[in-house]
Chains A and B, each alone.
Chain A
Amino acid sequence: MNLLEMKNVKKNFGNLRVLKDISIEVADGEIVSIIGPSGSGKSTLLRCATLLETLDSGTLKYQDKVVAENDSSGKAVYADKETLKQVKSVYGLVFQQFNLFPHWNVLQNVTDAVINVQKKPRAEAEKIGRDLLEKMGLSDKAGYYPYQLSGGQQQRVAIARALALSPKVLFFDEPTSALDPELTGEVLKVIKSLKDLNIAMVIVTHEMAFARDISDKVIFMADGVVVERGSAEEVFNSDNERMKAFLGRYKSIL
C-alpha cells in the first residue's frame, strides 16, 4: 500500500489550469523530489496534498484513508472532518518562508503542538524537542526567539517542529529558496541526515545536485503535468526535450 496516492488530480485557479491531470505515488520511507520551472504547479501540488488547497477533481489518499474522491459528476468530494483530522497527523510541511511562531522560543515552537495537539505530557514533549534540536545542531538555541536566528537556523527549527509530531511523510516546498547560498548547504545537509529516520520525504527544490543525490524518485513537472519521472539517473539523463532544456540551466553544477 502506498503512503500517499494522488490520482488524476486537477486544480484550476479561475481560468488558469494549474494542475492538469497529475498522478503521483509515494511509498513508505521513499524520497521523492519534484523539480520543474517556475509556475509549473509544484507548490500547488504540495498544497493540495497537505489540504491547504482543495482539488477540483481527482483522488487523494493517505494509506487506506480516502481524503478526496470524485463523485459521479467527476468533482472531488472530501471525507468527513474526523477522517481529515486523522490524516493530518500523517504528514508535515516545511515552508519556504519557515513560518515559525515569533512569540515563542525555539523549544516552544518545537514542542507546543506536541503538547497541545497531540496532548503528550510536557516532559515527554520536551525530551522529543531537545533530541530533535540536537539532531538539527541547535542544542544551544533552545531559548532563542526566531528573530535571533539566521534563516538557516530558522529553517532547521521549522524542520524540527514538523518532525516533533512524528509524521510519516514530510513535504518540503523549496526549503532553501529563501536562504543565502552559504546557509543553503547547512539545511540541505540536515535534510539528508533525515534519511535514517525512515520517513518519506517529498521535496520541491531547485537544488538539482541535491535532488539527484538524495532522491529515490524524481518527478519533473512542467505546465501542470508530469513530463518525466523515474530514478534520479533516469530523469537527469532523459532525452526529453523539455527536460533537457530545463536541466541545461543547471548544467554547470551537475
Chain B
Amino acid sequence: MTLSQIVIQLLEGLIVSVRIFAITLLFSLPLGLLVAFGRMSKNALINGLTKVYISIMRGTPLMLQLFVVYYGPYYLFNIKLSPTYRNSAVYIGFIINYAAYFAEIYRSGIQSMPIGQYEAAEILGYSKMQTFFRIILPQVIKRILPSVTNEIITLVKDTSLAFSISVMEMFTQAKALSSSQTSMTPLIVAGVFYYIFNFVVAMVMEKAEKKLDYYK
C-alpha cells in the first residue's frame, strides 16, 4: 500500500472524526447551558439530578459511557437496534458527556459575574431573560473561552475513542491499516492529521478570543 493510499483512507476516517467533533459541539454547547441552569436551580430535585448526572459523566470513562449508550438498549431492555445506531450512539455518548463538562464551565463563568451587573440591569428594568442574554452571557463567554478552548482540543483527541464501538473514524482506520500492513506509517499519518486538526482549532479559538478583546 502506498503512502497516498494510506492518506486517502485516513482522510475518509478524518471526515468521520470531524463529523463527530462538529455534531458534539453543535449540541453539547447549548445543552451544557441548559444543564448549568439545572445545576444552579433552586429546585432541589432538578439541582440534585443534574449534580448526579454531571458527577457520573465526569467520574466515569467516556469509553465506558459509549459502551453503555451503544449496548445498553439491548442488554438492559432487549431492544434490537440496527447497526447504524453505532453512529448515533457515538453522537449521543459524546454530547451528553461534553454537555456535563461545558455545564461546569458555564456555571463557574456565570457565578463569577459580579452581582452589580444583575442589580444595574434590574434597576434599568431589564427582564430576567434580557439580563441573561444581553448582559450576562456575552461577558460569560469571554470569561470562559480559554476553558472552552481546552475542552474543545480534548474533544478532537477524544473522537478517537469512537473506535471502541468500531465507528470508522480516523483512529479506527489507522489501527486497522497498521496491523494489516504491519507498519507504523498509518499511525504516524493519523497523528499528523490530529495535530493539524487541533492546530486549526486552536487558531480559530485564538481568533475568537482576539475578537472579544475589545473590552476588559
User: B-contacting residues of A (Cβ < 8 Å)?
Assistant: 50-52, 85, 88-89, 91-93, 95, 97, 99-103, 112-113, 116-118, 145-147, 161-162, 165
Contacts and interface: CB of A to CB of B under 8 A. Distances in A.
B216 A147 contact: yes
Interface of B: 114, 116-117, 119-120, 122-126, 130, 134-135, 138-139, 142, 214-216
Contact of A52 (B119, B215, B216): B119
7 contacts: A99-B117, A101-B135, A116-B134, A117-B125, A117-B126, A117-B130, A147-B216
Contacts of A88: 123, 125
B125 A103 contact: no
Contacts of A165: 124-125
A112 B134 contact: yes
Contacts of A85: 125
A92 B124 CA distance: 7
Contacts of A112: 134
Given A147-B216, A165-B125, 11 more contacts: A51-B122, A52-B122, A97-B116, A99-B117, A102-B139, A103-B139, A112-B134, A113-B125, A117-B124, A145-B215, A147-B215
A93 B123 contact: yes
Given A88-B125, A147-B215, A99 B135 contact: no
Contacts of A102: 139, 215-216
B176 to A, nearest CB: 49
Contacts of B124: 92, 113, 117, 161-162, 165
B119 A101 contact: no
Give me the 7 closest cross-chain CB pairs, A-B, nearest first. Answer: A99-B120, A99-B116, A147-B216, A113-B124, A117-B125, A145-B215, A93-B123
Contacts of B138: 103
Given A145-B215, A147-B215, A147-B216, A101 B120 contact: yes
A99 B121 CA distance: 9
Contacts of A52: 119, 122-123
Contact of B123 (A50, A118, A145, A146): A50
A103 B119 contact: no
Contacts of B135: 101, 103
A185 B132 CA distance: 35
Contacts of B122: 51-52
A47 to B, nearest CB: 9
B215 A95 contact: no
Contacts of A93: 123
A162 B122 CA distance: 12
A120 to B, nearest CB: 13
A34 to B, nearest CB: 18
A124 to B, nearest CB: 17
Contacts of A147: 215-216
A50 B135 CA distance: 20
Nearest to B216: A147
B119 A99 contact: yes
A205 B119 CA distance: 20
B119 A116 contact: no
Nearest to A117: B125
Contacts of B117: 99, 101
Nearest to B122: A52
A116 B130 CA distance: 9
Contacts of B142: 103
Given A102-B215, A116-B130, A95 B120 contact: yes
Nearest to B212: A103
Contacts of A97: 116
Contacts of B139: 102-103
B30 to A, nearest CB: 21
A40 to B, nearest CB: 21
